[in-house]
Structure 1
Amino acid sequence: MNNTQFAARRARLCAAMQPGAVAILPTAPEVQRNSDSDYPYRHDSYFYYLTGFTEPDSVLVLVAGIGETAAQSILFCRQKNVEREIWDGLRHGPEGARSAFGFDCAFPIDELDGEMARLLANAPAAYYALGHSAALDMQMKNWLLAVRRQARGGVTAPAVAHDLLALLDEMRLFKDDSEQATMLRAATISGLAHARAMRASKPGMFEYEIEAELLHEFRRSGAQYPAYTPIVAAGANACVLHYNANSAQTRDGDLVLIDAGCELDSYAADITRTYPVNGRFSDPQRTLYELVLASQNAALAVLRPGRKYSDIHDCATRVLAQGMLDLGLLDKGKWGSVDDVIAERAHQQFYMHGTGHWLGLDVHDAGAYRDVHADGKPSRPLQPGMVLTVEPGIYVRPAEGVPEQFWHIGIRIEDDVLVTPDGHTILSASAPKLADDIEQLMRA
């Protein structure tokens, strides 16, 4: 991405704000890990979306245009510091950041409080992330108090506060061409990492050894980080949805469920594949695998502009519920029909999560799942530019009445999908998915 795209986003946001209003958006703080060690720094996604700037201790302020007065974008950031740069690397400094990233002006972060009292004076409204940060809420309170102290001079403080994230969420939901290209590359790298893990897997390996294959491929291919802590779950561990200890030893006959994706240039991939560690599905494993794959195919069949987001989950769930009845996981005599199963949520014994989520700068990305402007807030229709995951699964724990041949089998199949004008594109196609293809890859 280039600075023109970030500037265009700032302009769009200012156009959506009340004329003359001021928006304040800080980046994420650095977080101490232990002693004198910090966690690897990751900027705030909203802040990056508008700036492309990745240094900590930074705040973006936007002033919406009014009349003939143009909108302004102002950055507050760390001063240049040659001594610290020897230890920590480049700091752009205000002037360097202004010229490199296209802001109208920039100030040292130490001047934020004084400048905010000036910028908020006589502004009709303030936009910020309401209630998301106690520190920012306190700063806003102090800035408003500073403005009100000027009341005798005819200065007024903003009379209204708006949630800035509500505007940004809607913008971030729709990915432009550059974002789509980055996400395709992130998903392709991640899919190749899944294939590498499959090829490397052998009974007796530890889950963390398989995880190392993923991380190797991520970094070798240019991704900066995993987008989230990878899940590498063998055997019964696959029935724990957020398992990430990745410490168990695989056994001959286990399935391995890997939920992992890289982060490339701040954008996330999120892919899940399930495969036999010995390279061959047993009959019960293949039966359940084909059921989950059929449910994903049913969901993908309705994934196109105009269909409701909820249709994806509904279609996948019906296929899974019917399979649960047909395979004896659920008692037909007790539940009767798929409609009964779904109405009573009996399927949640084996499928207890949704079928996807938005994807972008965050793994669970910004954007409403319901049409908040419509009566009753129904599920929103899909539109071109949205990117989401489609990830049905089945998780069979031992229980009375559940056929023992299926015990301890956990399967999830997850792809990253772009909604296009004509339908959809699977971004994560580089990850093998058909059972026969997985077995062939592992024999090679």
Structure 2
Amino acid sequence: MITFTEYQQRRQKFMSVIGKGVAVFRSAPQSVMHNDVEYVYRQDSDFYYLTGFNESEAVAVFAPNHEEHQFILFVQPKDLASEIWTGYRVGVEGAKDVYGADVVYPINELDEKLPQYLITGDRIYYHLSRDVSFNEKIIYHWRKLIGSYPKNGRGPKALEDSNFVLHPLRSIKSEAEIVMIRKATELSVKGHQRAREFAQPGRYEYEIQAEIEHTFRQLGGDGVAYPSIVASGGNSCILHYIENNRKIEAGDLLLIDAGCCYGYYNGDITRTFPVNGKFTSQQKDIYQLVLSAQTQAIEQVKPGNTYNQFHDKAVEVLVEGLKELKLLEGDSKEIIEQEKYKPFYMHRTGHWLGLDVHDAGTYKQDKDNWVKFQAGNIVTVEPGIYISPYITPVEGQPEIPDIWKGIGVRIEDDVLVTESGNEVLTSGIEK
């Protein structure tokens, strides 16, 4: 687990970056499933990264220039009547002891106390979120302080998005975070192994899903990192297919995209395999092409290489292979520049992975420059080819023979950038 000391170090590093500013973070809202039934609570990842605090109705403030309090929490106070229904709260005193805040206030004192911290900064770092009412609260306090600036010469003159300060810190994983993600990927692998053992013609996709998710929980995971995709036959051509209600037939490919969450960190794996154990000729050709693209893309994930290089390599390999299969034709460079391959491959080759499945971090430094990989980055590498039953080729490209339609293949691994290259964290499940 992430230690108390590491949370302290994260806060210190963050406050050193914001310098003369003040940062405000709002906890995630409690989401409603239907009527008065709530989803299991999941804290906002930025809030959790800096505090480890896992309750709703909370606000964290970081004021490095305040004379007494640099880390301030506002939380729900203890209330036995409410806790009987919704679970125990750490409370004001408990939050100070457990989470190391310099001071903790009841959440209902936020409007009264917040201005004394905001006025110590030259700017407010806050990410405008989906919580419109809280956005308006921050803007209200900011405008009020701007109005008083001519009289006292103090206060924030600007409002900046905290993402651009915090997310670069989150994108480089600490040793402790890597341990957590190793565990998440280990459990993800075991879920996929169970799916491979269990899958056979005649079973329903949801049966496979149940085995995967049972494995995650049985082995100590928190549950799924995202809704599991168990897609057989033509469903494998739907990128985010989650109905999982089709009966699997002999001759189908089964595409499974599933990951386990462990201690707020996530795994993300996709494997595609023939349910009856043997590829058709066309399935094999597409699978081998995607596997080759993935293998060569992973080789590009290393310190100093730019983020787009592994995607560009995957696209290059896929285009050449589709041309050999006569599913594309023409000059490869032109096909890529004009994106004529997109009916087959419409997404990019990966994303950052960590506290969020699509984790924090930028991909470009500016319009023309991609970020460079650094040791401690973790990225997914997931090329695919999807020949939908309803595919429409780009004008001037070949019509697709029916024998290819309904084949969807994606292969995805989680890759850690190391000092000397990379490590595939999800190599435990065969390809």
User: Does TM, scored on the shorter chain, surpass 0.5?
Assistant: yes
Structure 1 residues 421-440: aligned runs within 5 Å: 421-433=419-431
Give the counterpart of 1:356 among 329, 340, 350.
Answer: 350
Hey, what does 1:14 align to over in structure 2? 15
| Residue 341 of structure 1: how far off its partner (Å) | 2.0
Hey, what does 2:368 align to over in structure 1? 377
Give the counterpart of 1:173 among 171, 174, 179.
Answer: 171
What TM-score do the two structures reach when normalised by structure 1? 0.91
Hey, what does 1:413 align to over in structure 2? 411
| Residue 340 of structure 1: how far off its partner (Å) | 2.7
| Residue 411 of structure 1: how far off its partner (Å) | 0.2
- Contact kept, 8 Å, 2:63 with 2:118, in 1: the verdict is no
Distance 1:377 1:71 in 2: 41
Give the counterpart of 2:190 among 182, 189, 192.
Answer: 192
Give the counterpart of 1:387 among 378, 381, 401.
Answer: 378
Structure 1 residues 144-159: aligned runs within 5 Å: 144=142, 147=145, 154=152, 156-159=154-157
- For residues 18-55 of structure 1, the C-alpha deviation after alignment (integer angstroms, 9 at most, x for no partner) is 32x32110110112222211122111000000000101
Distance 1:382 1:15 in 2: 23
Match of 1:382, as an amino acid?
F
| Residue 156 of structure 1: how far off its partner (Å) | 4.1
Using the TM superposition, name which of 149-158 and 315-324 deviates more. Answer: 149-158
- For residues 277-315 of structure 1, the C-alpha deviation after alignment (integer angstroms, 9 at most, x for no partner) is 112222221121111000001101121111111110111
Hey, what does 1:367 align to over in structure 2? 361
Distance 2:416 2:290 in 1: 21
Give the counterpart of 2:201 among 200, 203, 213.
Answer: 203
Distance 1:356 1:181 in 2: 21
Relative to 1, partners in 2 of residues 1:427 and 1:122: Cα closer, same or farther, differing over 3 Å? closer
Match of 2:306, as an amino acid?
K
Match of 2:15, as an amino acid?
C
Hey, what does 1:43 align to over in structure 2? 43
| Residue 151 of structure 1: how far off its partner (Å) | 6.7
Using the TM superposition, name which of 394-403 and 231-240 deviates more. Answer: 394-403
| Residue 87 of structure 1: how far off its partner (Å) | 2.4
Distance 1:342 1:391 in 2: 18
| Residue 381 of structure 1: how far off its partner (Å) | 1.2
Structure 1 residues 330-345: aligned runs within 5 Å: 330-331=328-329, 335=330, 337-345=331-339
Structure 1 residues 269-280: aligned runs within 5 Å: 269-280=267-278
- Contact kept, 8 Å, 1:122 with 1:155, in 2: the verdict is no
Distance 1:148 1:165 in 2: 23
Secondary structure of 2:386's partner?
A: strand
- Contact kept, 8 Å, 1:43 with 1:55, in 2: the verdict is yes
| Residue 150 of structure 1: how far off its partner (Å) | 6.2
- Contact kept, 8 Å, 1:22 with 1:120, in 2: the verdict is yes
Relative to 1, partners in 2 of residues 1:156 and 1:301: Cα closer, same or farther, differing over 3 Å? closer
Secondary structure of 2:270's partner?
A: strand
| Residue 104 of structure 1: how far off its partner (Å) | 1.1
Using the TM superposition, name which of 351-360 and 70-79 deviates more. Answer: 70-79
Distance 1:202 1:76 in 2: 52
- For residues 379-410 of structure 1, the C-alpha deviation after alignment (integer angstroms, 9 at most, x for no partner) is 11111000000000001134563233322100
Runs of 4+ in 1 over 6 A off after TM superposition: 148-153
Relative to 1, partners in 2 of residues 1:91 and 1:277: Cα closer, same or farther, differing over 3 Å? same
Distance 1:65 1:145 in 2: 20
Structure 1 residues 306-325: aligned runs within 5 Å: 306-325=304-323
Match of 1:29, as an amino acid?
P
Relative to 1, partners in 2 of residues 1:88 and 1:317: Cα closer, same or farther, differing over 3 Å? same
What TM-score do the two structures reach when normalised by structure 2? 0.94
Give RMSD over aligned pairs. 1.8
Distance 1:189 1:80 in 2: 36
Secondary structure of 1:417's partner?
A: strand
Hey, what does 1:305 align to over in structure 2? 303
Distance 2:71 2:290 in 1: 49
Match of 1:359, as an amino acid?
L
- Contact kept, 8 Å, 1:390 with 1:414, in 2: the verdict is yes
Relative to 1, partners in 2 of residues 1:214 and 1:351: Cα closer, same or farther, differing over 3 Å? same
- Contact kept, 8 Å, 1:232 with 1:258, in 2: the verdict is yes
Hey, what does 2:158 align to over in structure 1? 160
- For residues 142-191 of structure 1, the C-alpha deviation after alignment (integer angstroms, 9 at most, x for no partner) is 32355467679737442122211111111111100011111111011101
Hey, what does 1:440 align to over in structure 2? none
Hey, what does 2:4 align to over in structure 1? 3
Match of 1:36, as an amino acid?
D
Relative to 1, partners in 2 of residues 1:308 and 1:149: Cα closer, same or farther, differing over 3 Å? closer
Distance 2:26 2:312 in 1: 39
Distance 2:146 2:279 in 1: 70
Secondary structure of 1:371's partner?
A: strand
Distance 2:4 2:283 in 1: 50
Gaps of 5+ in 1: 434-444
- Contact kept, 8 Å, 2:171 with 2:377, in 1: the verdict is yes
Distance 2:201 2:173 in 1: 41
Hey, what does 2:57 align to over in structure 1? 57
Relative to 1, partners in 2 of residues 1:289 and 1:339: Cα closer, same or farther, differing over 3 Å? same
Using the TM superposition, name which of 195-204 and 149-158 deviates more. Answer: 149-158
- Contact kept, 8 Å, 1:188 with 1:429, in 2: the verdict is no
Structure 1 residues 59-74: aligned runs within 5 Å: 59-65=59-65, 69=67, 72-74=70-72
- For residues 64-86 of structure 1, the C-alpha deviation after alignment (integer angstroms, 9 at most, x for no partner) is 137xx576101110101122222
Match of 1:4, as an amino acid?
T
Distance 2:92 2:153 in 1: 28
- Contact kept, 8 Å, 1:295 with 1:392, in 2: the verdict is yes
Number of residue pairs matched? 423
Match of 2:5, as an amino acid?
T
Identity %, equivalent residues: 39
Distance 1:91 1:387 in 2: 34
